[in-house]
Amino acid sequence: MPPTAEFTPLLAPFSPWEPGALPLVVFGAIVLVVMAVILFLSGFLVRRRPTPSKQQPYECGIRPTGPARFRYPVPFFLMAVFFLLFDVETAYIISYAVAWPELGLPGYLRLAVFVIVLGLGLVYAWRKGGLDWDEEEGL
């Protein structure tokens, strides 16, 4: 679409042959080639002599124990998620408050619905034990 008076596309047509883009293309090509060479050589040159200790997963030198799939409580993580949720909601409410004069009563009602639903969510999380710190069987 040709640029019109009221709207101009944000991006100029992108061409790999324009001076601005050429280094990027060359750089990308070099990266790919170097990566391919390194991967190929490391597979081609190396002679594999596997031993049990070599085949262990690398855990910074510590001997791995137990299965990798187990559950452990992360209550702090849960708190962080709740905080994030309610933190984002304040951003909404503040931006609404700034526009208070224009929005009037309909805007108020809409935000009220939003806050009520949010409150219900908090009640639900509470009842389900999401706010209990030491419970492993929380949410």
Partner 1 sequence: MTAQLVLYFPHLSLALGGLVILLAACLRRTPATLFPILAGVFAALPGLWSLAGPTGASGIGCYYAGLLSVITLATVALTARYAARRGFAGDALYGLVLWSALGMLLLAASDDWLMLIVGLELASLCLYAVVASRLSDPLGTEAALKYFLPGAMSLAVLVFGAALVYAGSGSLIIADSLAAGGPIVSAGLALALIGIGFKLSLAPVHLWTPDVYQGAPAPIAAFLSTGSKAATAAALLHLCAEASPEARELLWPALAGVAGLTMAAGNIGALCQKSVKRILAYSSIAQMGYIAMAAMAVNDGGGEAALFYLAAFALMDLGAFGAVGLLSGEIGDRDDVTAYQGLGYVHPWRAGALAISLLSLAGLPPTAGFIGKFLVFGAALRAGYVGLAAFGIVTAVIGIFYALRVVAALYMQSGVEAHPAIPAPAGPAGGLALGVMAAGVLALGLFPQSLLGAIAALFGGG
Shortest Å distance, C-beta 51 to partner 1: 30
User: Backbone phi, then psi, for 127, in 5-degree steps?
Assistant: -65, -35
Q: Shortest distance, CB of residue 42 to partner 1, whole angstroms?
A: 26
- Min separation Cβ 69 and partner 1, Å: 6
Nearer to partner 1, 62 or 91 (CB): 91
Looking at beta carbons only, is 9 or 28 nearer to partner 1? 9
User: How far apart are CB 9 and partner 1 at their closest, in Å?
Assistant: 6
Interface with partner 1 (CB under 8 A): 1, 7, 9-11, 13, 69, 117, 120, 123-124, 127-128
Q: Which is nearer to partner 1, 14 or 58 (CB)?
A: 14
Q: Report in angstroms the alpha-carbon separations of 74 from 67, 84, 87, 133, 134.
A: 18, 16, 20, 9, 9
φ, ψ for residue 99 (rounded to 5)?
A: -95, 20
Cβ nearer to partner 1, comparing 45 with 68: 68
Q: Hey, what long-range contacts does 75-78 have (CB within 8 A, 24 or more apart)?
A: 75/132, 75/133, 75/134, 75/135, 75/138, 78/130, 78/138, 78/139
- Residue recorded with tokens 């050589």: 41
